[in-house]
Amino acid sequence: DAKTTQPTSMDCAEGRAANLPCNHSTISGNEYVYWYRQIHSQGPQYIIHGLKNNETNEMASLIITEDRKSSTLILPHATLRDTAVYYCIVRVPNSGGSNYKLTFGKGTLLTVNP
């Protein structure tokens, strides 16, 4: 699985958009970008994933650059409850055999301030 690089921490004001970057310069053509987040003392929660087109769901938007070497997770109107560690993971969704594990880095601690 491709390695990802994320900032250690970021701050955002409540009500403003939070833009979380992720670099994945060694991503291969069939690898997807997944985002999970982990609120303190809870299990990780799936947010969104994408291959090359921008994606949006009820939680967030995912913008992937044209060369696919980086992406940005956007929380359009951050709330205090969005304070969490956000993980960017790159992998092939169904790589065949039995390889389904997710490889987590340390992620980005997003702190939403009142």
Partner 1 sequence: DAGVTQSPTHLIKTRGQQVTLRCSPKSGHDTVSWYQQALGQGPQFIFQYYEEEERQRGNFPDRFSGHQFPNYSSELNVNALLLGDSALYLCASRTRDRLAKNIQYFGAGTRLSVL
Residues that bind partner 1 (CB under 8 A): 32, 34, 41-46, 49, 85, 87, 91, 93-94, 98-107
Q: Nearest distance from residue 72's CB to partner 1, in Å?
A: 20
Of the pair 16, 52, the CB lying nearest partner 1 is at: 52
Task: Between 13 and 45, name the residue whose CB sits nearer to partner 1.
Answer: 45
Smallest distance from partner 1 to CB 17, Å:
24
Calpha distance 24→19 (Å, rounded): 16
Rounded-to-integer distance, Cα 25 and Cα 83, Å: 27
Work out how close the CB of 104 gets to partner 1 at its nearest, in angstroms, rounded to a whole number: 3
What 8-state DSSP symbol labels residue 85? E
Taking residue 71's Cβ as centre, other Cβ atoms within 10 Å add up to 23
Beta-strand relationship, 61-64 and 55-56: antiparallel
Three-state DSSP at 67 gives: coil
- Residue pair 108/36 in contact by the 8 Å Cβ criterion: no
Nearer to partner 1, 46 or 77 (CB): 46
> Toward partner 1, which CB reaches closer, 45 or 65?
45
Tell me how far, at minimum, the Cβ of 30 lies from partner 1, in Å.
12
